[in-house]
Amino acid sequence: MKGERQTMEYKKFKVAGYLRLSQEDGDKEVSDSIVSQRTIIENKIKELGEDFELTDFYIDDGYTGLNTDRPAFQKMLSDIEKGIINAVITKDLSRLSRNSFEANYYIEIYFLERNIRYISVLDNVDTYIKNSNNDMIQFKTLINDWYSKDISRKVRTAVWARKEKGLYLGALAPYGYDKARENKNQLVINESQAEVIRLIFDMFDNGATTREIAENLKKQKIKCPSYYDFGGAKNGEYNWKSETVRRLLKNKVYLGHTEYGKRLNLSYKSKKVKTVPREDWKIVKNTHEPIISKEQFERVQGKLEIRKKVRNPLYVWNLNGIVYCKECGTKMQVKVRRDKNHEVKYTDLICGSTYRNDKIINCERKYKAFDEKSFNKIIYSIIDKKLNKIVNSDKLEEIITNQYNNNATKLFDDNIELLKKKLKKTENIISSLYIDLKEEIIDLDDYKRLYQNEQERKISIQSNIESLQREKDNRPKISKEQLIKVTKDLLDSQKWTAEMLSEIIYNIQIDKENKIYINYKYDIFTEV
């Protein structure tokens, strides 16, 4: 059954034949080969007749279909913008993209808005002709998306199984080793580099610092690891650094063990990876010949830990755990700067989202800091005044009797209302992003990034609203005896801790202008 022709600007079609092949195609490699795809497209052009003229083939060989960051695909888009081509033909929808979102975007928005005719031969899809097969595009792209997800899972499982066997799968051998000629997954000692590793461990074991070791290696003109990894170090072939030495000293590969699971992909669609904490890494022991003995390695690790504590002793912030960023709800952290003698130079409060690399938090505080000493002084002053007012109040009985006053309720309501406004703003941003994408104000990559940011922000705000509402509904009352005890304990204390203050407050918040908000557990503290 012939479909209804759509009106298009062009009479002559200048065709781009797009071809793609990648490892994710698995056993279908023969049928999906570049030669096969080219033949199918050429035959389709002949079938369509003299109104179709092949401009060029755009070939991405070895590129995933999960994103459009492919050189030939991008060249094709550029030629579309230049008016060189006005029709695109692929063997099937999966060649265009296995990402359902991206496939639908290009077919239903990008091509349509530029009057680009798109044909998927084997799927019988032709955007120039209205037919039932075109209505199946979204379903088919979802199937392709699912297929990619399944293939990705199978590949990860296969790779993980190989790693569990202790096979070395890194692109480059670690410094001190080479890949065996007969087996690229097996490490063999590079004796000249191994001597350097032994020298580094011996020097550190005998009291030298990592900085001193790095300087010594420079003086001896020993080539650094980056020279071998990248064919020349950025800042010179002898560019040894203290951190490089420290990294080598901590690497269990020199014990003859293989570590893996150091990074995890966030999604089969994304190139972004999450760094896994060292304590969660996996290890397979005795996979290759060691360079360093177990006794010396463990001795060096102990010395590294001791020097770490001396170099950067733990800084304890008394209010840690109860102070939050009012903008995004993340806990505030202390950023410590030390001088060359490792003495504390200054301490600033920073929104904890600054340090997070597993999630992108769109916090309006950005990197704005609040001096910790000044903050502590303000908090102590406010609460101290509250406590003394309670102690000296002649209306204590009345205040206790009239708990749950309007002031406290209003404080909760004001905070909840503020968060609701922010939630509405975020929802409006999310709604407008698609319009911006459609109108080409932003590109697809920006859309996905901004959408993810705003969704995470929305979830965070919703969580804060729910938390405040629970606190409002479940505000505890306090007896006269409890109040006197808590007040006395705090006033008698020389230094308050977060645990002590949690007796009377839920949390402390700092907004983007560094204004401070104290959320008390008991209405009494807002009354006095």
- Kindly report the average pLDDT of the chain as a whole number: 76
Reported as a pLDDT band with limits 50, 70 and 90, residue 139 is very low
Tell me what the mean pLDDT of segment 263-286 comes to. Answer: 59
Domain co-membership, 220 together with 306:
yes
Say which CATH number the domain at 282 has. Answer: 3.90.1750.20
pLDDT at 499: 82
Residue 426 included in any domain? yes
Report strand pairing: 117-120 vs 125-126: antiparallel
Domain co-membership, 71 together with 204:
no
Would you say 353 and 491 are in contact if contact means Cβ atoms under 8 Å apart?
no
Residue 161 included in any domain? no
SS (H, E, C) 11-58: CCEEEEEEEEECHHHHHHHCCCCHHHHHHHHHHHHHHHCCCEEEEEEE
- Number of domains the chain is built from: 3
Q: Tell me: pLDDT of 303 over 80.
A: yes
Tell me what the mean pLDDT of segment 422-436 comes to. Answer: 77
For residues 484 and 332, the model is more confident at: 332
Residue 165 included in any domain? no
Q: Tell me: pLDDT of 90 over 90.
A: yes
Q: In the 8-state DSSP scheme, what is residue 331?
A: B
Residue 132 included in any domain? yes
Task: Count other Cβ atoms within 10 Å, centred on residue 233.
Answer: 17
Can you list the pairs that 250-255 forms with residues at least 24 positions away whose Cβ atoms lie under 8 Å?
A: 250/301, 250/304, 251/174, 252/283, 252/297, 253/174, 253/176, 253/177, 253/187, 253/288, 254/176, 254/197, 254/201, 254/290, 254/291, 254/292, 254/297, 255/285, 255/290, 255/292, 255/294, 255/297
Domain co-membership, 143 together with 199:
no
Q: Tell me: pLDDT of 245 over 80.
A: yes
Residue 321 included in any domain? no
Cα 157 to chain centroid, rounded? 22
Residue 254 included in any domain? yes
Q: Tell me: pLDDT of 68 over 90.
A: no
Q: Which of 97-101, 219-223, 324-328, 485-489 has the lowest mean pLDDT?
A: 97-101
Residue where a domain terminates, one of 271, 294, 311? 311
Domain co-membership, 122 together with 182:
no
pLDDT at 290: 92
Domain co-membership, 192 together with 124:
no
Residue 75 included in any domain? yes
Q: Tell me: pLDDT of 226 over 70.
A: yes
Reported as a pLDDT band with limits 50, 70 and 90, residue 67 is low
**Residue 510's beta-bridge partner residues?**
325, 516
pLDDT at 271: 46
Instruction: List all residues 6 or more positions away from 419 whose beta carbon is below 8 Å from its beta carbon.
Output: 461, 464, 465, 468
Residue where a domain terminates, one of 275, 294, 311? 311
pLDDT at 193: 92
Domain co-membership, 88 together with 182:
no
Say which CATH number the domain at 28 has. Answer: 3.40.50.1390
Residue where a domain terminates, one of 295, 311, 327? 311
φ/ψ region of 18 (left if φ > 0, alpha if ψ in -120 to 50, else beta) reads beta
Domain co-membership, 391 together with 522:
yes
Domain co-membership, 406 together with 513:
yes
Domain co-membership, 184 together with 148:
no
pLDDT at 1: 41
Write out the residue range of the structural domain in which residue 378 sits.
372-527
Domain co-membership, 141 together with 190:
no
d(CA 113, CA 116): 8
For residues 372 and 353, the model is more confident at: 372
Domain co-membership, 289 together with 194:
yes
Q: Tell me: pLDDT of 408 over 50.
A: yes
pLDDT at 387: 80
Q: Tell me: pLDDT of 132 over 50.
A: no
Residue 302 included in any domain? yes
For residues 306 and 291, the model is more confident at: 291
Can you list the pairs that 26-34 forms with residues at least 24 positions away whose Cβ atoms lie under 8 Å?
A: 26/151, 32/91, 32/95, 34/59, 34/61
Domain co-membership, 212 together with 266:
yes
What values do phi and psi take at 283, rounded to 5? -140, 140
HSE toward the beta carbon, residue 288, CA cutoff 13 A: 27
- pTM greater than 0.85 (yes/no): no
Tell me what the mean pLDDT of segment 481-490 comes to. Answer: 72
